[in-house]
Amino acid sequence: DAKTTQPTSMDCAEGRAANLPCNHSTISGNEYVYWYRQIHSQGPQYIIHGLKNNETNEMASLIITEDRKSSTLILPHATLRDTAVYYCIVRVVTGGSYIPTFGRGTSLIVHP
Amino acid sequence: EPEVTQTPSHQVTQMGQEVILRCVPISNHLYFYWYRQILGQKVEFLVSFYNNEISEKSEIFDDQFSVERPDGSNFTLKIRSTKLEDSAMYFCASSPYTEAFFGQGTRLTVV
């Protein structure tokens, strides 16, 4: 799996967009970018994933650069409940098994 | 909305005792996982289960651990002889294919 690099921590004002970057410069053509988050002491929560096109769902948007070497998770209107550790995971999707492997992630603090 | 359910939420056990952690995955999901998280550390993969057998396991998942899907709905993790270092949050997850959905975890405390 390609290695990912994320900032250790970030903060954001409530109501503003939170933009969480992830570098994955060694990503290969068949590797997807996944984002999960973990709110304190809870189980990780799937947010979104993509291959090369930008993706949007009810939780967030995922912007992947054209060369696929980096991506940004965007929470358009952050709330206090979005305070969590956010994990960027790059993984090949195969027909047999897919196992999210968690690093340290980015600790996002949303403040009033 | 369907969710993964884990029981108990908290278990305290004496060192050397056997524990069974229980999970009810989301119906119709095909892949099942156990993870653990020691306090202050990363979420670590233990084992994946597909088609009624272990598909992958980590170095952590040694002979003291076993998994079972006894009745087609529950998914269990057994630790045969608990050690102090087994104290952690244990998360179960299920997946229809690629996105994994996690339960709220069982906090295991070994004393």
User: How far apart (Å, rounded) are the C-alpha atoms in residues A82 and B88?
Assistant: 24
Confidence band, pLDDT 50/70/90 cuts, at residue A95: low
Amino acid at A16: R
pLDDT in tens, chain B (111 residues): 889 999 999 999 999 999 999 999 999 898 999 999 999 999 999 999 988 899 999 999 999 999 999 887 899 999 999 999 999 999 999 999 888 999 999 999 999
Any B CB within 8 A of A98 CB: yes
**Dihedral of alpha carbons B19, A44, B61, A94, sign:** positive
Taking the CA of residue B26 and the nearest CA in chain A, the distance in Å comes to 14
CB contact under 8 A, B100 and A100: yes
Res A91: pLDDT? 84
Any B CB within 8 A of A80 CB: no
Backbone Cα Rg of chain B: 13
Taking the CA of residue B17 and the nearest CA in chain A, the distance in Å comes to 25
pLDDT tens string A7-62 = 999 999 999 999 999 999 999 888 899 999 999 989 999 999 999 989 999 999 99
Any B CB within 8 A of A104 CB: yes
Taking the CA of residue A32 and the nearest CA in chain B, the distance in Å comes to 10
